[in-house]
Each structure stands twice: as structure tokens, then as C-alpha cells.
Amino acid sequence: MLPKASRLADRRSRVGRTLLTDDLDALLFLDLQNIRYLTGFTGSDGAYLLERDRSVLMVDGRYTTQAGEETSGTKVFQYREKVEGIAEVLAGESLRNIGFEAAAVNVETYGKLKEKVSAVRLQPLAGDLVNIRAVKDDGEIASLRTAAAIASRTLLALLKDVRPGMQERDVALELEYRMRQNGAGGVSFPTITASGMHSALPHAAPGSRLLAMGDALVMDYGAVYEGYHSDETCTFVLGQASAPFQEAYGIVKAAHDQALAAVKAGVACAEIDRIARDHIEAAGLGRFFSHGTGHGTGLDVHEPPRIAAPSKAVLEAGMVVTIEPGVYFPGKWGIRIEDMVLVRENDCEVLSKVPKDLTVL
Amino acid sequence: MLPKASRLADRRSRVGRTLLTDDLDALLFLDLQNIRYLTGFTGSDGAYLLERDRSVLMVDGRYTTQAGEETSGTKVFQYREKVEGIAEVLAGESLRNIGFEAAAVNVETYGKLKEKVSAVRLQPLAGDLVNIRAVKDDGEIASLRTAAAIASRTLLALLKDVRPGMQERDVALELEYRMRQNGAGGVSFPTITASGMHSALPHAAPGSRLLAMGDALVMDYGAVYEGYHSDETCTFVLGQASAPFQEAYGIVKAAHDQALAAVKAGVACAEIDRIARDHIEAAGLGRFFSHGTGHGTGLDVHEPPRIAAPSKAVLEAGMVVTIEPGVYFPGKWGIRIEDMVLVRENDCEVLSKVPKDLTVL
């Protein structure tokens, strides 16, 4: 499904109003998800220029036809080399100041750009820019809801087949295959299926380890639907949970639940992180919670806002974020519990559908 | 399989000899494949500092344990925030000039770095740096050979099941699933299975289109083995090939064969591109060949050298590159024929194993 022409125009108009301030004549985008967000183009390379009265998508020869089909209200320009193409599009226009994505342009490209368009002043944008996609519109929320539902439904069905003796990587492969059979366009990121000691590595790659009785099993996974990424983590145990595992699980689960209960418009992201962290610290496990509490998700699986201590962001209705506290005991096991939620005015809607009470497989 | 400690030490020593010239005290790496190449670390975030007598891998809390397991001869430093971590590692050292990857550092990070380590002069590296991985060692060649073999073997077996009425996306999904069942750690990129008119889009995403009799079917796909990416493209036809299709296929195939026959150490990459392009231009199809002739592959699926007209690179023994001419007729169909080859002193070894004569399914 292509984003509706009117929706794309709305986004461009909003971004223009917010970022095309008096001292900027145009915005140059190189981040492919920002380009997709503003033009509908889904290719793997390109550049996009937004002016008050002009919208130009630049692509190479592989994508000219596709760009014409996917975009509307935007001129398509074909280049042989990107930076030269940008220079050509800018030539003849009387543009003086152009804002660009400081996080999406590397120092090499920036150097070439400065050289080729020396008459233009390039102004790095950071703060406002990264947040242009943070609040989702109805179409985006629908895609994220579907992505989360496909993922959860697939995992719940797969659990019946997960048993000791299976390789971690086979569990991951089966989950990814079935999510795509169930309608996912792809997976949000390489699935984590970390068992036993591996579960103590927050981002372990699935390997040849065989699941064994008594193992913790951390599964972090997501489905992509219409370009939108779901993200959910479940921690299971095989056969029987030890007392220390049950205790730690209860602590992480309570931290997760308390943070989630606090999610609503107007609350600082740092406050959500504080709630989860306080609970885990009070239980004496603070030093084992080695990452932030969550992040936004959308066209990228990690996007603003960050839900972490240094975050300055404040939750707004329409944001979709994860809540994912965890604890990791090196050489032993780990636990992470993650739901993806839609922020509403007075609470949140949990989009992930796998129950988070401790489940013994 | 982890790269052997001695191999990692060799790479660091070679890169140090090449890049740690008199005016540089250290090299700072942020590109994750360069970091993997030099340290063995396979995580998804980090930074790496190489000095004449020091090797420091910086990671966040998710990766401390994993980094310790994967690396050797390298100190692991845990940070909370990457740029601050880098600043901390540099503090107290009397480093004056540090080279960094101009293509792997974005303008925002660069700005923060300059601020935090203001006593150090950061020097962008481009030319030499991108080529550090271009010539593969024996272990890398073995991984690429295995990756290509898994991919080709899987496709050849799958072809028996490909028939009119199947959805493009199901063909792609089945191929990816079976490559991983056959030992691939992942896929090199989202598989292209472009049928009929879609085959005229060089990088079409597989969709719900049903394969039909008479369709061209472009399949561009690859397997990852031990982190190394294969890349191969086959163009098939379903049922029966039209005369214009057969003619165009013959032209692209001859361009591919002639370019491939010219591959050996000492030949300019631009010359290989010229050979393929000349043949297609002489046949009157030059304007339909809208991309370069090939690229290196390895820890990234696209890496130096580029095989294209503007390329300054010269082939060396041990490089692994693709040869992939193609022609695309918008609204009609397209053809691309791609093999991955190992450059040798006097010729090349074709690592892709699917026969490239026109195959009717």
C-alpha cells in the first residue's frame, strides 16, 4: 500500500512549516527513511530536496521508473553520481541556505557537497529534524499494529514446537520464515534466540547451541509491515524455572509493568526510564540493567524518542515506543521483557500480544 | 568460526603499516565491518582505536561480555555513550593526530567528537582506508566460496518448484529460508525475484505478482557465511522465450562472458566495465544498461573495488568481485547476469555456480 498522496503532502507541509524557517531556503534529505516518509519512495539510494514550492526526488538509473510510480507531487530527477546530481538540481536556483540531516550525511559526502555547491551554505539540522517521524499518523499506527500482531501471533503458534534439543538458529529461522508467511514484508532485525548462558548477552546472535531443560530463552524479534517495524522481547524458561530466575523475572516484570503504567502523553521519557530503573535498583539488581528502557519504532526499528536517563524527549499521543527493561548475569542467564505500545492522552495501548507472565515451555 | 588471533594481528599490523604514517598517532574506526575485520567483534555498535602499541575496542554494556569472547590482543573498554567513551579512552594519552573514516562518521558525530577531544586533530581518511579489505586472505576466500556455493546450490534445487502461479514474494521467501537451512547465517540483501514487467526495474522488491508463462524472472540473491556475502543474479524465462528476449539475453551474456574473461590481476576496473559496456553499446542497447558492471564483496555486499567507468581501482589477486551487466526495457522486461569471481594472477575463478546459459523454467 502506498501512502496516500494527501498524506505525503501533509507530511511535507508540516515538515516545511517546522523546519523551513526564515533562514533556510530548502531542506536536503539523504536518510532513506526520511525520504520514504516524505515522498513514498522505497528504493535503497537517493536524495530529496524540499523547498517551499518545489519537491525533487533524485535517484540513479536503477530507480527512475520505480520513483515515478511510488511518488506523487514530486519531481523525479535521475543522476549518475549522487553529489553531482544534487549540485545539478541546485544549479540555477537562487538558494542560499540549505538545511541537511547532520546524522545522515557522512564527513566524506559533506566534503564533496561543500565543494560542488560552494555558493550554498549547508546548515546541519539535528534536534527538530530527528523528531519529524516520532508522532505517527493513523496509517502508520495501523501498519505498526498489524506488524506487532503478525509477530506475536506467529511466535505464539511457534511456541508449541519449541523444545529442548533444537538449535537456537533453527528457532530463529522458523520464526522469521513463518512471520513472512503470515504477511510480514521482512523482519525488523535479525531475530535473537539466546538460550542458557547466551541469554546473558543482551544482543547475542543465534548459534548452534541446543536448547536444554532449565534454560532461559530470550527471544527478541519483530515483523515489518508496509515498512513499519514491530519490536517485542519475551523471556521463557524450558522445563522448570529455578527460584533465583523466578525472583529476577518477577523484578523485571514489575519494572516493565510499572513503567508501562506510567506511559501517557506529557510524561518525560527520562521519567519512564527512572521508574523501571528505580524498581530494579531497589531490588539490588541495578548494575545488571545495562541498557536504556526503550525507544521509538516506525520506519526504523530504532527511532526517536529514546527512553533513557539522558533523554530530553517528552511522550506525545501517537508515538509508538518500546518498554524493555532487562537484567543480565554474565556466565549465567538473562531476562528482558519488551512490549511495544502506542502512547495515548491518558494511557497507552499495548500493541505486542504475547502475554508477559512467566511462561514455562 | 572466529578469525584466528594471528590473522587479526596480521591485519592490524598491515593496516598500521599502511595507514599509521608519520603524521598520524592513531586510527579511529566506527565502521562496524572494519571493526570486525580488525578485532573479530561482531556486535552492532562500537568504536575501535588502533595505535602503534595499543588496540582498544569500545562497546556499550550490551556487548562487553561478547567483545571479550570474540577479540584477542585487544583491550575492551565499556562506555555508556560512544563519543564520551572515545574521549575517555583518548584522555591521558598524548595523541595529536588521529585518522578517521570519513565515510563512516556522520557530521553530527564528527561535531561532537571535535568538541569532546578538542586537543586532538581529526584527519579524514578516504582513499587508502576503503581499500583495506579489498584483497581477501585465505580464510575470507574460503568463507566467500562457501557462501556462493550455498546460494547457488539452494537456487538450483528450488528451480524445480518454481512455476507459473507462484507469487514473487513466495519464491524469494522460499529461497531465503532454504539458504539458511543449508547453512547460511543470513541473506546478503533482500532477495530480488522480479517477474514480467517488474524485471525491468533493476532493484524491484518482490511483491504479490503471480509468475506467468512467458515471464522473464530476474533473481538477485546471496548467502552470508561467517559474515561474508555472496552475490549472484540469474535471469530465467518461464515457458518460452520470445525472439527479442533471446537476442537481448545473448547480448548481455556475451558482455558478461567477455568482461569475465578479461578479469585478472593488473587490469583496471574501468577497463572491465568498458568491455561489457562496449559490447552492449555495439549491439545498440547501451542506453538500457543503466548501472555499473560490478563491485567487490566481502563483509559488506558492496565494497571496493567498484567496477565502473569512473573507478580508479586496479584488480589484484585475492579480490572477490561481481560481473553483472544488465539491460532494462521499462514497461517490458529486463535481464541481468551476475557472477561472483575470485581474481587470480592470470585469470579468475568463478565462485557462483548456477549456469548462465539461458534456462527456460
In chain A, which residue's Cα lies nearest the Cα of B70? A204
Rounded to whole angstroms, the Cα distance separating B261 from B246 reads: 22
**Does residue B44 lie within any of the structural domains?**
yes
**Does residue B359 lie within any of the structural domains?**
no
**Does residue A358 lie within any of the structural domains?**
no
**Does residue B202 lie within any of the structural domains?**
yes
Given the C-alpha cell 508496509, which residue does it identify? A226
Rounded to whole angstroms, the Cα distance separating B79 from B77 reads: 7
Q: Are residues A105 and A152 in the same domain?
A: no
Rounded to whole angstroms, the Cα distance separating A338 from A352 reads: 8
Rounded to whole angstroms, the Cα distance separating A223 from A221 reads: 7
Report yes or no: A26 and A45 within 8 Å, Cβ to Cβ.
no
Report yes or no: B291 and B202 within 8 Å, Cβ to Cβ.
yes
Residue B172 confidence (pLDDT): 97
- Nearest residue to B140 via CA among B225, B199, B56, B209: B225
What average pLDDT score do residues A345-349 get?
A: 98
Number of structural domains in chain B: 2
Q: Are residues A68 and A143 in the same domain?
A: no
Q: Are residues A169 and A264 in the same domain?
A: yes
Q: Are residues B164 and B283 in the same domain?
A: yes
Q: Which residues of chain A are at the B interface, by a Cβ-Cβ cutoff of 8 Å?
A: 42-44, 60-66, 81, 100, 102-111, 124, 126, 169, 173, 177, 180-181, 185-186, 190, 200-205, 290-291, 310, 330-331
Q: Are residues B188 and B270 in the same domain?
A: yes
**Interhelix angle for B168-181 vs A168-181, to 10°?**
180
Give the tens place of pLDDT for each residue, B250-306. Answer: 999 999 999 999 999 999 999 999 999 999 999 999 999 989 999 999 999 999 999
In chain A, which residue's Cα lies nearest the Cα of B202? A62
Give the tens place of pLDDT for each residue, B212-264. Answer: 999 999 999 999 999 999 999 999 999 999 999 999 999 999 999 999 999 99
Q: Are residues A125 and A165 in the same domain?
A: no
Which residues of chain A make contact with B291, given a CB cutoff of 8 A? Answer: 60-62
Q: Which residues of chain B are at the A interface, by a Cβ-Cβ cutoff of 8 Å?
A: 42-44, 60-66, 81, 100, 102-111, 124, 126, 169, 173, 177, 180-181, 185-186, 190, 200-205, 290-291, 310, 330
Which residues of chain A make contact with B173, given a CB cutoff of 8 A? Answer: 177, 180-181
Residue A126 confidence (pLDDT): 72
**Helix, strand or coil for residue A162?**
coil
Tell me which of B107, B191, B233 to substitute to probe the interface with A (most A C-beta atoms closer than 10 Å). B107
Copy the grid coordinates of residue B304. Answer: 571496493
Q: Are residues B186 and B111 in the same domain?
A: no
Q: Are residues A309 and A237 in the same domain?
A: yes
Q: Which H or E run includes A56?
A: strand A55-60
User: CB-based burial of residue B294 (10 Å sphere; 0-12 exposed, 13-18 middle, 19+ buried)?
Assistant: buried
Residue B247 confidence (pLDDT): 98
Q: Which of B130, B163, B179 is the last residue of a domain?
A: B130
**Does residue B355 lie within any of the structural domains?**
no
Q: Are residues B184 and B320 in the same domain?
A: yes
What average pLDDT score do residues A102-118 get?
A: 93
- CATH number where B14 lies: 3.40.350.10
Q: Which of B130, B158, B190 is the last residue of a domain?
A: B130
pLDDT band for A129, please (50, 70, 90 cuts).
Answer: confident
pLDDT band for A1, please (50, 70, 90 cuts).
Answer: low
Residue A127 confidence (pLDDT): 65
In chain B, which residue's Cα lies nearest the Cα of A79? B290
pLDDT band for B127, please (50, 70, 90 cuts).
Answer: low
**Does residue A360 lie within any of the structural domains?**
no
Q: Which of B95, B130, B165 is the last residue of a domain?
A: B130
**What percent of chain B has a predicted confidence (pLDDT) above 70?**
99
**Does residue B312 lie within any of the structural domains?**
yes
Q: Are residues B51 and B178 in the same domain?
A: no
State whether the Cα torsion A299-A300-A301-A304 is positive or negative.
Answer: negative
Copy the grid coordinates of residue B319. Answer: 579480490
Give the tens place of pLDDT for each residue, B46-93. Answer: 999 999 999 999 999 888 988 999 999 999 999 989 999 999 999 877
- CATH number where B317 lies: 3.90.230.10
Q: Is the pLDDT of residue A2 over 90?
A: no
Which residues of chain A make contact with B205, given a CB cutoff of 8 A? Answer: 42, 185
Pairwise pLDDT comparison (A173 vs B21), residue with the higher score: A173
Q: Are residues B325 and B184 in the same domain?
A: yes
Distances A290 to A201, A271, A325, B75, B250 between C-alpha atoms, Å: 11, 17, 9, 20, 58
DSSP string computed for B133-201: TTB--HHHHHHHHHHHHHHHHHHHHHGGG--TT-BHHHHHHHHHHHHHHTT-SEESSPPEEEEGGGGGS
Give the tens place of pLDDT for each residue, A267-291. Answer: 999 999 999 999 999 999 999 998 9
The amino acid present at B111, given as its one-letter code, is G
**Does residue A357 lie within any of the structural domains?**
no
Residue A217 belongs to what domain range?
A: 138-350
Greatest Cα pair distance, chain A, in angstroms, is 72
Q: Are residues B149 and B111 in the same domain?
A: no
